[in-house]
Amino acid sequence: MYLKKRVYGQNNSITFHSEEVMVRRFAAVCMIFLTGFVFTIGTSHAQSGKVVDLSHVFQPGMESRTFDIETFGADGVEPADQLVQGYWYVMHNVTLHNHNCTHIEFPYHISERGDDCASFPLDRLCGDAVVLDLRDIPAKSFITAAQMEKAAQKAGGIKNGDIVLCNLGYAEHYRTEKYSEAPQFSTESIKFLVDAGMKMMGVDATGVEISGGAHNVNHHALLDNNIALIENLAGLNKLSKSRIQVYAFPIAVEGLDSFPVRVVGIE
């Protein structure tokens, strides 16, 4: 209504209208530049970030621990009279052991008062990450602190607040006998990473604990320091850089110590 009045009103109104048109044209030009600027930044960011899946694909019924799905027709839930005959419309019941396939562990795993899947801070589950190449460590041997330090130096060092992903080269052996032959982490090697300021750790192996060793000593070294642990990582060999961005968010379930997680690396 206001604009219409100006267009068809008195001279002073028309003059005012033309000023407004100029202002609007100026604003439009600014918007075009701004849109182009934002679009350029957006596309350049998207183009520079190669997205790499660092999780294994779940195979229901094929995992070493329970992961079964039961498919049922959603017409058992939705009113049947709203469904067309033969229409594919399903839902699932899932029975899941939470330490399964690629999963992430939180302090509640070994500490009654520790954070669980729902309460653990999100800012410790994403950010800058360094990928350590430990593929030359012999099978079944212990990774020493010195070997870990050497790998860290080769990767450009560990910065305070880094996520550390350890590439043992075993992801391709997942679901085979050979997977259990992966090198083990000495407690000193874990402590080296903790002292360097690591905020989250991931490994392409069953875990970090020493078989037959002291009770959960490596888990305590991590989880007691609020360092979440991802087990059974995949895809590390697809990365071409040692410094990337990582995002690892499980769903927020109250009262769970661990849950499967989709880990994403962006380089």
- Which positions touch Zn ion (CB under 5 A)? 99, 231
Closer to Zn ion at the Cβ: 13 or 225? 225
Closer to Zn ion at the Cβ: 74 or 210? 210
Residue 84, classified by CB atoms within 10 Å of its CB into exposed (0-12), middle (13-18) or buried (19+), is: exposed
Nearest residue relative to Zn ion (C-beta):
99
Closer to Zn ion at the Cβ: 4 or 215? 215
Tokens at 216, concatenated: 């959960």
In the chain the beta strands, taken as DSSP E runs, fall at 51-53, 67-73, 90-96, 103-105, 126-133, 142-143, 163-167, 184-185, 200-203, 228-231, 243-249, 258-260, 262-266
Task: Name the minimum Å distance from CB 82 to Zn ion.
Answer: 42
Task: Name the minimum Å distance from CB 124 to Zn ion.
Answer: 18
Q: Are strands 243-249 and 51-53 parallel, antiparallel or unpaired?
A: unpaired
Task: Name the minimum Å distance from CB 266 to Zn ion.
Answer: 25
Task: Name the minimum Å distance from CB 223 to Zn ion.
Answer: 11
- Quote the CA–CA distance of 175 and 147 in Å, as a whole number: 27
Closer to Zn ion at the Cβ: 105 or 162? 105
Is residue 148 within 8 Å of residue 192, measured between CB atoms? Answer: yes
Is residue 265 within 8 Å of residue 248, measured between CB atoms? Answer: no
Closer to Zn ion at the Cβ: 169 or 260? 260
Is residue 245 within 8 Å of residue 267, measured between CB atoms? Answer: yes
Task: Name the minimum Å distance from CB 219 to Zn ion.
Answer: 9
- Quote the CA–CA distance of 95 and 86 in Å, as a whole number: 27
Closer to Zn ion at the Cβ: 204 or 231? 231
Task: Name the minimum Å distance from CB 107 to Zn ion.
Answer: 13
